[in-house]
Structure 1
Amino acid sequence: MKRIFLSAALALSFIAANAQSDRYKSAMEKLIATLDTTKTVDGYTELGNSFQRVAEAEKTQWLPYYYAALASVSAANNMFVTGQTDKIDPIVDKAAPLIAKAEELQKDNSEIFILKKMYNTAKMMADPMNRYMELSPVAAEALATAKKLNPENPRVPLLEGQDLFFTPEQFGGDKNEAKKKFEEALKKFEAFKPADNLAPHWGKDQATYFISQIK
């Protein structure tokens, strides 16, 4: 009789775990699909909060923390492009503990170092005159690590191209060289296969957009 009860308990536990996993995947798929089409600071902020709620419910999963941080960094990038640099810090600072938690759960992951690069670049652009010397090397090191961990990650040349695109020519920027990086990124996107449908896949549209802006 004890064996029957034990078997029943194990079966129920397995069913509950599967149901929880299905709910997690469903929630993440919907949020990631929304992330692909979000363009506003408010939209990114709302998405970041939603990913954080998933992270709090699924504390052993690194991807909700990653995407919550990505949403904050994306909101900060939006503010930079629209000239709201004075508002970047409060937004991007939300990403720091999320990135740390993602890395705690997933060591030596190229995507997390991509995110570290983006975070430090966003912090730098909030006050480039005072932060460039400190944060530019940190951002560059994170990107170099991302490349070392996965040389085929298409987001590496994408970010290299963005650096060249946005940096003034007198400080080493070069839009023609940026275009080459974006074209390299597109080639890598064609060959890149994410681990599953929850894994990071963003960036191809950005590479295409930047190429269109370079005559």
Structure 2
Amino acid sequence: MLCGSIAAVNAQDNSKFEAAMKKNIDQLDSAHAKIMTGDATLMEAEANAFERIGNAEKDKWQPYYYAAYAQVMEAMFIKDKDKVDGLADKATVNVEKAEAFSPNNSELTCLRSLIAVSRISVDPMTRGAQYGMESATLLEKAKSQNPENPRVYMMQGQNLYFTPAEFGGDKEKAKELFQLALQKFASFKPATSVDPAWGEAYTKKLLGTMK
């Protein structure tokens, strides 16, 4: 009887966790759509919300993943480039917290790659080579951790797509990687309802610009 009661409590707690996460993921998606044309600092509130969930749960990697994701998106789009490194540092701390609960996680390694990319924007001419190589190396690591993760191929394609040809960019290779990513998305199933599942629509958008 005691085991049954504990299981019921755990199920209820997990249900509350998933409900809170889904609500905040929806808000994150909405904020992400707005920062493309508006204020990147919208992401700060989203990051704070996920950090609060993570601090309350104490054993879940997903809240810290989304907190870091929000921070790196803010770093990507913020107009004041003096704030990029600080945001990237905060995102890194949250990734490290997530990795403590889920080591060898391809999604978290992909996020580390995005953090490296965000730092390039501070000074592309002096930072491009260093952080571009770091991002590429991390994506290869993420691929080894989970070859079926579609975000690996999406990000590899994105890096080639946005890098000038004289610095190693290649639109044709990017197109191939986007197509491979879409194949992976077609069969990809997140382990839980709050695991990362984003990127398919963005991949189709980028691929659409190449037709």
Same fold, judged at TM 0.5 (above):
yes
TM bin (shorter chain): 0.7 to 0.9
Unaligned runs of 5+ in 2: none
2:121 aligned counterpart, secondary structure: helix
CA distance in 2 between partners of 1:33 and 1:197 (Å): 13
What's 2:111 paired with? Answer: 115
The size of the alignment, in residue pairs, is: 205
> Is 1:104 the equivalent of 2:100?
yes
8 Å CA contact 2:110–2:142 kept in 1: the answer is yes
What's 2:21 paired with? Answer: 28
8 Å CA contact 2:136–2:156 kept in 1: the answer is no
**TM-score normalised over the length of structure 1:** 0.86
Unaligned runs of 5+ in 1: 1-6
**In the alignment, residue 149 of structure 2 is paired with which amino acid?**
N
Cα 1:206–1:73 shift into 2, 3 Å: same
CA shift, 1:13, in A, is: 5.2
- State the percentage of identical aligned residues: 37
> Is 1:198 the equivalent of 2:198?
no
> Is 1:87 the equivalent of 2:83?
yes
**In the alignment, residue 65 of structure 1 is paired with which amino acid?**
Y
1:89-116: per-residue Cα shift (whole Å, max 9, x none)?
2322210110111111111111111011
Instruction: Give 1:158's match in structure 2, choosing from 136, 154, 158.
Output: 154
What's 1:60 paired with? Answer: 59
1:101 aligned counterpart, secondary structure: helix
**In the alignment, residue 188 of structure 1 is paired with which amino acid?**
K
8 Å CA contact 1:36–1:202 kept in 2: the answer is no
8 Å CA contact 2:113–2:136 kept in 1: the answer is yes
Deviates more, 1:118-127 or 1:198-207: 118-127
1:110-153: per-residue Cα shift (whole Å, max 9, x none)?
11110111111111232223333433332222111100111111
CA distance in 2 between partners of 1:136 and 1:164 (Å): 10
What's 1:168 paired with? Answer: 164
CA shift, 1:176, in A, is: 2.7
What's 1:128 paired with? Answer: 124
CA shift, 1:213, in A, is: 2.1
**In the alignment, residue 97 of structure 1 is paired with which amino acid?**
V
CA distance in 2 between partners of 1:156 and 1:87 (Å): 27
